């Protein structure tokens, strides 16, 4: 798949992540046959496609949860193909799965502290804690409450907060809108956009709801049957009369 002109350039030209000709799967099953994704620093990119298109496998392979069978993953100019999740976190990546991931028996504050274990600076951990509690006011109001007592939307906010505690340069999020109310989704997307704009954090967002994706994305990458088939600006997608032919 050819890159659009606006994303052309070498890794040093603002590009944080490059995925080229990625192939990945599970056991004898190949789920991704040929995926190409490129993200600039501070950019939000929505990875979209039908169920089974290979979106989640692509993101998990970038992070190291699924081993790449072919192709290359470059992060900040370095070849990180085959890196483990621990190595990915150390390099500045985070991954938030589609299911809410929290430690149910621990308080909100203790959940967030666990997310900061890779952050060596105590001062930075404290500052990040206050920032996350400010970004998601409901977490600040209930910082001492057990996470298991939260609603699904509140747990999703907390899982994103846990990811933010590691000070990621690249956030990988799988279906953050699934099962949530529009108000909660709007708050999550607003936060991600704010962090991309103010901290130059880069976001790769797996999303099936094109309405939500277009609220926050700079670009949209479409996957179909394990292959990336389109890389377009969000404005180009918004200006289309219909979205159905994309999938």
* Domain end point (choices 163, 189, 212): 163
Provide the 10 A C-beta neighbour count for residue 143: 16
Query: What is the CA 166 to chain-centroid distance, rounded?
Result: 14
Residue 32 CA: distances (Å) to CA of 68, 224, 235? 9, 10, 27
Q: Give mean pLDDT, residues 108-112.
A: 95
Helix (H) or strand (E) segment spanning residue 24: strand 15-26
Token reading at 167: 């000070």
Place of tokens 């700079």: 218
**Is residue 227 pLDDT above 80, yes or no?**
yes
72 with 186, same domain: the answer is yes
For 136, the 3-state DSSP assignment is: coil
Q: Do the domain assignments include residue 12?
A: no
> 23 near 70, Cβ under 8 Å?
yes
Q: Based on the domain organization, do 88 and 174 belong to the same domain?
A: yes
pLDDT of residue 38: 96
The pLDDT value recorded for residue 153 is 84
Residues 1 and 52 in one domain: yes
Domain count, the chain: 2
Per-range mean pLDDT, top range of 13-17, 142-146, 211-215: 142-146
pLDDT of res. 63: 97
Sign of CA dihedral 184, 188, 194, 197: negative
- Note the pTM of the prediction, 2 decimals: 0.88
188 and 71 in one domain?
yes
Range of the domain at 184: 1-7+29-92+168-240
Q: Are residues 121 and 148 in the same domain?
A: yes
pLDDT at 120: 67
Residue 42's pLDDT band, with cuts at 50, 70 and 90, is: very high
- More confident: 179 or 211: 211
Domain boundary among 112, 144, 163: 163
Percent of the chain with pLDDT over 70: 93
Q: How confident is the model at residue 176 (pLDDT cuts 50, 70, 90)?
A: confident
Are 150 and 86 found together in one domain? no
Same domain, 87 and 174: yes
Out of 10-14, 78-82, 128-132, 183-187, least confident range: 10-14
Say yes or no to pLDDT of 100 above 80: no
In this structure, the answer to whether residues 132 and 150 fall within a common structural domain is yes
């Amino acid at each position: 798949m050819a890159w659009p002109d606006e994303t052309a350039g070498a890794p040093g030209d603002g590009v944080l992540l490059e995925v080229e000709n990625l192939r990945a799967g599970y056991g004898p099953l190949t789920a991704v046959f040929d995926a190409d994704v490129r993200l600039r620093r501070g950019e939000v990119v929505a990875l979209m496609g039908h169920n089974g298109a290979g979106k989640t496998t692509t993101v998990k392979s970038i992070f190291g949860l699924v081993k790449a069978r072919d192709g290359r993953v470059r992060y900040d100019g370095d070849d990180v193909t085959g890196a483990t999740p621990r190595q990915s976190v150390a390099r500045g990546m985070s991954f938030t799965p589609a299911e809410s991931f929290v430690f149910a028996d621990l308080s909100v504050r203790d959940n967030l502290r666990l997310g900061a274990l890779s952050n060596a600076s105590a001062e930075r951990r404290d500052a990040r804690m206050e920032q996350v509690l400010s970004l998601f006011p409901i977490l600040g109001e209930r910082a001492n409450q057990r996470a298991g007592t939260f609603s699904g939307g509140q747990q999703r906010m907390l899982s994103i907060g846990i990811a933010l505690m590691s000070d990621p340069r690249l956030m990988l999020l799988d279906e953050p809108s699934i099962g949530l109310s529009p108000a909660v989704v709007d708050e999550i997307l607003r936060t991600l956009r704010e962090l991309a704009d103010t901290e130059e954090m880069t976001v790769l967002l797996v999303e099936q709801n094109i309405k939500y994706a277009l609220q926050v994305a700079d670009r949209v990458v479409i996957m179909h049957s394990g292959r990336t088939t389109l890389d377009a600006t969000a404005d180009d997608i918004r200006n289309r009369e219909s979205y159905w032919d994309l999938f």
